[in-house]
Amino acid sequence: MRPDVAERLGQWLGAVDAVGLNGALHSIEAYPAQALQPGQVVDWRAMEEACRGVQAELNEQIVARATPARAPRGRGGMAPAEAIDPEAEADFATHCQRYLGQQKQMENRLSALRAQMRQWLSKGSPALRQLAALDAVLEQMLGAREQKLWAQLPGCLEGRLAHWRGLHAQRLEALGQEDAPQQWRQPGGWLFAFEQDVRALWQAEVQVRLQPIMGLLEAARNENR
């Protein structure tokens, strides 16, 4: 049997955290049940549009990844500035730093969106205001633990880089061909295949990070049905 939400949450919280959460829950339950003013409703359509906008923005980042490393200039500076250094692209550290940079941008953007969603909910019914307050408490309480886990994700890509390069080397040996680094990034190249793994991981992370936000949106939708 799979553990329920409370049990799984208990695995993340220590005794001090549990006491703090309990106090926060009691405070939230004591919120005054202020009646809504006539015509005052949560604009869930605006919330939905905001979510779509951020998702589109993050998807663009997936497609338009950071510019690959440039090749160093040769003697006399004759090497073209646009030349890509394939060996630099083959270094996992390059991809790791790039992913961490994108991850930080995603974190900032989604954190701002989540706060904006809570602001919308704070103008709704007592139940929605309580939900917004609870979400703020949980984000603050679980944030540090989550960030440690997210920071481990790029490490998953190191094995994939070695996998694709190993297959590439085996193919060259089997066919008796010499390597052509400038083709690594072309469709069918091993770096091209690795980039698909990077994008898939990025898309999966976006979807998981969006879950609390989509939960707030769904609550607003249900309130207005």
- Taking the chain (225 residues) in consecutive chunks of 10 residues, what is each chunk's mean pLDDT? 64 70 72 56 91 92 58 45 67 90 93 96 87 90 88 92 96 93 92 93 93 95 82
* CB count in 10 Å sphere of residue 209: 20
169 domain-assigned: no
32 domain-assigned: no
pTM attached to this predicted model? 0.79
- CA dihedral in degrees (103, 104, 107, 110; nearest 10)? -90
* CB count in 10 Å sphere of residue 202: 20
39-76 CB burial, b ≥16 within 10 A, e <16: eeebebeebeebbeebbeebeeeeeeeeebbebeeeee
Residue 224: the pLDDT is 77
Beta-bridge partners for 84: 70
138 domain-assigned: yes
107 domain-assigned: yes
Closest CA to 221 of 46, 87, 1: 46
Task: Write down the H helix ranges in 176-189.
Answer: none
Q: What angle do CA 152, 88, 80 make, to 5 degrees?
A: 145
122 domain-assigned: yes
Residue 200: the pLDDT is 92
Any idea what DSSP says for residue 70?
B
Domain count, the chain: 1
Residue 88: the pLDDT is 79
14 domain-assigned: no
Any idea what DSSP says for residue 71?
P
108 domain-assigned: yes
Amino acid in position 98: R
19 domain-assigned: no
209 and 106 Cβ atoms separated by less than 8 Å: yes
Q: Which two tokens stand for residue 67?
A: 């510019």
106-129 CB burial, b ≥16 within 10 A, e <16: bbebbeebbebbbebbeebbeebb
Residue 104's domain spans which residues? Answer: 42-65+85-154+201-223
